């Protein structure tokens, strides 16, 4: 059940109505939400809820065990055991093919391992569970005694498949007493859902096949077409993934849960550090809280700092997939950080670029273009199925054929992304993209109607495809 389908709209309409009708009975309301979550997940495959249920129980029981311990050593041992069990589940299901496949003589095991159906969203709820028990261990959050509340938090259908990865400190308490959204919140939800649908159904869906074509036919295409194809993938990935996150936020808010903002217009970043503060922020925060800081962060020597950063990015690559291409993608991102770490400029640019102005300065424009170019290069690794394709793409893109005329069709598809970028640029200082004139109701309604018409008229006439980030 995808967000951009009528099936989901019907499902959500029923859940929304029932959920708030029974709001005066909190226990019933929680059961309704939990049932909706599991129904949503079982709709993808009947077996998925079994694994999700097991993960929820593991997280719940380990949190209870940690909370019940006074002895610090035992608490730590229990935490480590919990992380190992949750991590093992994820590793076995998602990575056994890579691990066993790389060891000679284990082909018999490999074949059985490869037969496992990987539940969609497994990485997300495993990370949520690990985050929660770690927070309980650190006493950052009080353990949630109500199993249904905890289970609803982990399995909450808006963030289940593609995040945002919830932070137990800020998101979990909201499940205890969700509040009916205010008029302003409802409007914000509608606006975010509308913009999300536009990005998914108009932008991402219209360019997806062209991206696939470029990567599949890299041997037949020239360097300029391939570079545009990789750039198009960069834009597609943003449109697709941020669309999911925005719809998730909109839907979550309508159910009284305010999810993390996962994307803060990352293409308007002046260096890679700023880009990563704006792209997939919930994963970044998870990495920061549960890996970067425990590993020492930027304390100690620069060499250690660099090593920690490279490790974090390699780990992030592996989180995306059991493939060398993802490891290289992570490492390349880490390497981008090196000059900024060495010159202590990594954490610059915390404000919005060209704040209060319509156009950036020449320097800012150059910085934006360079960051976009660097990120685009990483997408060669991110989308290629293997290193052979990576090599083929790199050789072509860095050959003289990059100066030839690109395929017109690919150029046209890039044009689909430009209105999205233009509009987001104009609105980059707002709380959300479709925030249009607070005191002008007519303008806002007109804006929503225009987006509705655009989505209907320009939606790609293809079957709804899955969101790209489901696979992670």
Partner 1 sequence: MKKCLLSFAACISLLTMGCGNSASENTAEAVAQKQQTNALLAESKKNASEIEKLNEQYHEVPDERMLNNGGQNSPVYKELQQRYKTQLGAMKQSVEATGAKFVVVIITPEVGKNISALTRYGHPFIKQACTDLGVDVYDLSPVIAAQDARVITQVPRDGHWSKKGAEFLANQLDPILVKYAGHKSTKTYADAERPETFGDLAPSYEEILDGGKDMPYKVTSNAQGLRMDHDIKFPKAKQHILFLGGSQFFSPFLDNEFIATTLLQKKHPEMEIMNAAMIAGCTDDFLSQWEEKAKYSEPDVVIVQTNGTDITDLFFTNRNHMARTKKPYYPSPVEEKYFLETYRK
Which residues contribute to the site for partner 1 (CB under 8 A)? 202, 209-210, 212-213, 216-217, 220, 358, 408-409, 415-416, 418-419, 422-423, 426, 450, 454, 457-458, 463
Q: Token pair 């389908």 is at which residue?
A: 5
Closer residue to partner 1 in complex, CB, 80/422: 422
Closer residue to partner 1 in complex, CB, 35/453: 453
Exposure letters 438-454 (e unless 16+ CB within 10 A, then b): eeeeeebeebbeebeeb
Closer residue to partner 1 in complex, CB, 28/454: 454
Tell me the closest approach of the beta carbon of residue 35 to partner 1, in angstroms: 33
Q: Token pair 């005066």 is at which residue?
A: 24
Closer residue to partner 1 in complex, CB, 63/211: 211
Q: What is the dihedral of CA 190, 195, 197, 199, to 10 degrees?
A: -170
Tell me the closest approach of the beta carbon of residue 354 to partner 1, in angstroms: 12
Tell me the closest approach of the beta carbon of residue 214 to partner 1, in angstroms: 8
CA distance 164 to 199: 17
3-state secondary structure 41-61: HHCCCCCHHHHHHHHHHHHHH
Tell me the closest approach of the beta carbon of residue 360 to partner 1, in angstroms: 14
Q: What is the DSSP string of 203-214?
A: IIHHHHHHHHHH
Helix (H/G/I), strand (E/B), else coil: 193 = helix
Number of residues in the chain: 472
Closer residue to partner 1 in complex, CB, 56/433: 433
Tell me the closest approach of the beta carbon of residue 454 to partner 1, in angstroms: 6
Closer residue to partner 1 in complex, CB, 264/430: 430
Within 8 A by CB and 6+ apart from 218, the residues are 226, 389, 392, 393, 396
CA distance 264 to 270: 13
CA distance 209 to 186: 34
Tell me the closest approach of the beta carbon of residue 105 to partner 1, in angstroms: 27
CA distance 465 to 227: 24
Tell me the closest approach of the beta carbon of residue 456 to partner 1, in angstroms: 10
Nearest alpha carbon to residue 94 among 133, 59, 55, 135: 55
Closer residue to partner 1 in complex, CB, 308/407: 407
Tell me the closest approach of the beta carbon of residue 468 to partner 1, in angstroms: 13
Closer residue to partner 1 in complex, CB, 293/443: 443
CA distance 207 to 194: 19
How many CB atoms sit inside 10 A of residue 178's CB? Answer: 20
Nearest alpha carbon to residue 206 among 353, 410, 441: 410
Q: What's phi and psi for 231, nearest 5 deg? A: -65, -40
Tell me the closest approach of the beta carbon of residue 215 to partner 1, in angstroms: 9
Whether omega before 189 lies within 30 degrees of 0, making that bond cis, reads no
Closer residue to partner 1 in complex, CB, 296/437: 437
Q: Token pair 């995808």 is at which residue?
A: 2
Q: What is the dihedral of CA 210, 215, 220, 225, to 10 degrees?
A: 60
Residue 190: enclosing H or E segment and its boundaries? helix 183-197
Closer residue to partner 1 in complex, CB, 31/458: 458
Closer residue to partner 1 in complex, CB, 370/426: 426
Tell me the closest approach of the beta carbon of residue 426 to partner 1, in angstroms: 5
Tell me the closest approach of the beta carbon of residue 409 to partner 1, in angstroms: 5
């Amino acid at each position: 059940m995808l967000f951009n389908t009528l099936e989901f709209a019907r499902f959500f309409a029923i859940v929304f109505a029932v959920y708030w009708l029974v709001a005066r009975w909190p226990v019933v309301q929680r059961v309704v939400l939990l049932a909706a979550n599991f129904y949503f997940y079982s709709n993808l495959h009947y077996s998925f809820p079994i694994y999700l249920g097991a993960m929820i129980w593991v997280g719940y029981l380990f949190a209870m065990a940690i909370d019940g311990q006074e002895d610090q050593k035992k608490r730590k041992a229990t935490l480590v055991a919990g992380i190992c069990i949750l991590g093992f589940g994820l590793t076995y299901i998602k990575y056994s093919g890579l691990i066993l496949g790389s060891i000679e003589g284990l082909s018999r095991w490999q074949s059985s391992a490869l037969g496992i159906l990987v539940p969609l969203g497994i990485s997300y709820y495993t990370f949520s569970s690990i985050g929660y028990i770690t927070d309980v261990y650190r006493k950052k959050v009080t353990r949630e005694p109500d199993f249904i509340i905890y289970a609803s938090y982990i399995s909450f259908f808006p963030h289940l498949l593609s995040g945002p990865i919830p932070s137990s400190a800020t998101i979990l308490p909201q499940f205890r007493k969700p509040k009916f959204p205010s008029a302003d919140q409802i409007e914000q939800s509608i606006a975010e859902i509308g913009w999300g649908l536009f990005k998914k159904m108009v932008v991402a869906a219209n360019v997806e096949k062209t991206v696939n074509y470029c990567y599949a036919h890299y041997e037949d295409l020239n360097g300029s077409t391939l570079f545009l194809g990789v750039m198009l993938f960069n834009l597609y990935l943003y449109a697709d993934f941020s669309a999911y996150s925005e719809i998730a936020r909109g839907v979550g808010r309508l159910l009284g849960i305010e999810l993390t903002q996962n994307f803060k217009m990352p293409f308007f970043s002046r260096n890679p550090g700023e880009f990563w503060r704006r792209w997939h922020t919930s994963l970044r925060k998870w990495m920061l809280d549960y890996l970067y800081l425990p590993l020492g962060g930027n304390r100690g020597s620069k060499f250690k700092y660099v090593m920690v950063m490279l490790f974090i990015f390699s780990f992030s690559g592996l989180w995306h997939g059991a493939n060398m291409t993802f490891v290289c993608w992570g490492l390349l991102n880490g390497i981008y950080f090196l000059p900024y770490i060495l010159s202590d400029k990594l954490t610059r640019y915390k404000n919005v670029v060209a704040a209060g102005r319509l156009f950036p300065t020449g320097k800012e424009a150059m910085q934006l273009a360079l960051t976009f170019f660097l990120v685009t290069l990483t997408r060669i690794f991110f989308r290629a199925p293997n290193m052979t394709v990576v090599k083929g793409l790199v050789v072509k893109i860095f050959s003289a054929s990059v100066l030839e005329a690109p395929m017109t069709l690919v150029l046209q598809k890039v044009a689909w992304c430009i209105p999205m970028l233009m509009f987001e640029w104009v609105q980059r200082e707002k709380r959300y993209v479709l925030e249009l004139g607070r005191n002008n109701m007519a303008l806002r309604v007109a804006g929503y109607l225009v987006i509705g018409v655009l989505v209907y008229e320009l939606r790609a006439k293809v079957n709804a495809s899955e969101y790209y980030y489901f696979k992670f």
